[in-house]
């Protein structure tokens, strides 16, 4: 019994003491902040589709594997047809990393954004799937600054595969006649302020605290789905008209774990390729790279070098993201407002 509870708790919380979080962990959220903040919905002037896959701590049996599909788009004819981001030939051309483009940057017209995401995360015998819809409203609070407010709502499905759990007692009351497949409500909110050379975001996910038990008896109700809080910010520093540094940070808080943080740095070369690195406190270092193949498709890849005590059994983590830019009428090759 105790062994089972330890196994379940370990996988539900991604091994407490290392990273006590229940939501999937990403390295390339810098490529898709929509995963963390619903206020990013509709931030660009095209329909943004991304598919991602992450294999964490490869070499460790039962380590987390995450896959997702996200889509978000703006609503409103003024935004799509008439605002500054829709202009194909602003000063500096169509390269959003140029200094001259930044000087001419204008806040987007007020508009709505919608989106949806499907995220599946498998860790040991537990698979969690989130199905969420998002909405955001983007308001220009100055000539060069937007503030977006977003919400997300949906369902979280938690499934325990008892075939992967070995027990001395097959009728163990912790799972016997229990609720091995459960649906829970999922709610989140976010704020996102953005301009031509910086952004700041605050968000919360899994706001409705839920008890999680796989047995009939409340005596084994020892786990909960708890809120996750994120604060992120980034800044664009120009080295030349076509080369920019993009430092960013992310703070994460999941009670009762201590606050953790990531520090990232991307170097973007024109609107074609970028390389970067990331440090996750007490966990890993990562290398990242991406290429904007065309105005339709882009690809990003990252590899995490584990620095925690798991480095003796882990071969690191791989993550790949493929982006598709639909209805990209002005043929931009890279994000203009979320870079």
What's the pLDDT at 68? 97
For residue 91, pLDDT beyond 60: no
- pTM value is 0.85
Is 228 a member of any domain?
A: yes
Task: Could you list the beta-strand ranges (E) of the chain.
Answer: 47-55, 65-75, 111-123, 126-140, 146-160, 181-194, 198-205, 210-212, 223-225, 228-235, 237-238, 243-253, 260-269, 273-280, 284-292, 297-306, 317-326
CATH number at residue 113: 2.40.160.40
Q: What is the mean pLDDT of residues 178-193?
A: 89
Q: Rounded to whole angstroms, how far apart are CA atoms 142 and 194? A: 11
Flag whether 17 is in a domain: no
Residue 169 inside a domain? The answer is: yes
Question: Does 192 map to a domain?
Answer: yes
pLDDT tens, residue by residue, 113-139: 999 999 999 988 889 999 999 999 999
Predicted confidence (pLDDT) at residue 293 exceeds the cutoff of 70? yes
Residue 282 has pLDDT above 90, yes or no: no
Structural domain of residue 299, as residue ranges?
1-8+27-326
CA dist list (Å): 284 to 43, 126, 301: 30, 24, 16
- 266 Ramachandran zone, left/alpha/beta (phi>0; psi -120 to 50): beta
Residue 332 lies in a domain: no
Q: 220 with 12: CB under 8 angstroms? A: no
Which residue intervals of the chain are DSSP H helices? Answer: 2-12, 77, 99-103
Let me know: does 9 contact 212? Beta carbons within 8 Å: no
Tell me how far apart the alpha carbons of residues 301 and 15 are, in angstroms, rounded to a whole number. Answer: 25
Position 108 scores a pLDDT of 84
Using alpha carbons only, what angle is made at residue 227 by residues 230 and 195, rounded to the nearest 5 degrees? 25
The 10s digit of each residue's pLDDT in 309-338 is 665 556 788 999 999 999 888 788 888 888
291 falls within a domain: yes
Provide the pLDDT for residue 217.
Answer: 59
- Number of domains the chain is built from: 1
Tokens coding 121: 């995360």
Residue 305 has pLDDT above 50, yes or no: yes
| Residue 5 CB-density burial (10 A; 0-12 exposed, 13-18 middle, 19+ buried) | middle
Per-residue model confidence (pLDDT) at position 135:
98
pLDDT computed for residue 69 by the predictor: 98
Residue with the bigger pLDDT between 193 and 172: it is 193
Question: What is the spatial distance between Cα 137 and Cα 150, in angstroms, rounded to a whole number?
Answer: 7
44 three-class SS: coil
Residue 338 within any structural domain of the chain: no
Share of the chain above pLDDT 90, in %: 49
């Amino acid at each position: 019994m105790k062994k089972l509870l330890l196994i379940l708790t370990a996988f539900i919380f991604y091994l407490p003491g290392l990273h006590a979080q229940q939501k999937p962990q990403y390295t390339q959220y810098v490529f898709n902040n929509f995963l963390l903040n619903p206020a990013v919905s509709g931030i660009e002037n095209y329909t943004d589709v991304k598919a991602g896959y992450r294999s964490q701590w490869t070499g460790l049996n039962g380590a987390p594997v995450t896959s997702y599909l996200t889509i978000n788009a703006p609503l409103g004819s003024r935004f799509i047809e008439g605002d500054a981001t829709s202009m194909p030939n602003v000063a500096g051309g169509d390269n959003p990393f140029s200094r001259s483009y930044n000087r001419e940057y204008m806040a987007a017209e007020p508009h709505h954004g919608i989106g949806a995401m499907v995220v599946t995360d498998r860790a040991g015998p537990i698979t969690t799937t989130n199905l969420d819809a998002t909405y955001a409203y983007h308001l220009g609070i100055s000539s060069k600054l937007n503030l977006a407010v977003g919400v997300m709502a949906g369902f979280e499905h938690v499934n325990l595969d008892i075939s992967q759990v070995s027990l001395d007692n097959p009728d163990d009351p912790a799972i016997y006649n229990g609720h091995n497949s459960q649906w829970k409500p999922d709610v989140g909110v976010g704020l996102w302020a953005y301009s031509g050379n910086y952004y700041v975001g605050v968000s919360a996910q899994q706001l409705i605290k839920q008890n999680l038990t796989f047995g009939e008896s409340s005596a084994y109700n020892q786990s909960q789905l708890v809120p996750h809080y994120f604060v992120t910010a980034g800044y664009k520093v120009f080295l030349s008209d076509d080369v920019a540094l993009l430092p960013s940070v992310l703070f994460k808080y999941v009670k009762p774990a201590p606050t953790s943080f990531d520090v990232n740095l991307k170097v973007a070369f024109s609107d074609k390729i970028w390389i970067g690195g990331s440090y996750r406190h007490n966990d890993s270092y990562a290398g990242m790279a991406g290429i904007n193949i065309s105005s339709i498709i882009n690809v990003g890849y990252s590899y995490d070098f584990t620095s925690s005590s798991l480095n003796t059994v882990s071969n690191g983590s791989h993550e790949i993201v493929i982006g598709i830019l639909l209805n990209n009428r002005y043929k931009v090759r890279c994000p203009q407002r979320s870079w």
